[in-house]
């Protein structure tokens, strides 16, 4: 089964907007859905992993040239 990936471009947005946009997207997503957040806010390196740990979501963080990319998989099962 193919997974649709939703990307949130949060470059230029400051805390707490990147994590709030992620929360809003995950609230409407099915378990196992993948959401990618691209941000330039250094606080997102704290906020998004914390949100994921608190809610049981898996995530991968990639940093390159001042841009942070989080690939988040929503917790739960179908």
Residues with catalytic roles: 15
30 and 20 in contact (C-beta within 8 Å)?
Answer: no
Cα 69 from Cα 54, distance rounded (Å)? 19
- How do 34-39 and 5-10 pair as beta strands? parallel
């Amino acid at each position: 089964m193919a997974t649709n990936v939703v990307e949130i471009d949060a470059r230029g947005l400051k805390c707490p907007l990147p994590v709030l946009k992620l929360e809003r997207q995950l609230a409407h997503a099915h378990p196992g859905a993948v959401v990618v957040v691209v941000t330039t806010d250094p606080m997102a390196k704290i906020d998004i992993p914390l949100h994921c740990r608190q809610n049981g979501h898996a995530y991968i963080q990639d940093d390159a040239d001042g841009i942070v990319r989080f690939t988040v998989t929503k917790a739960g099962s179908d």
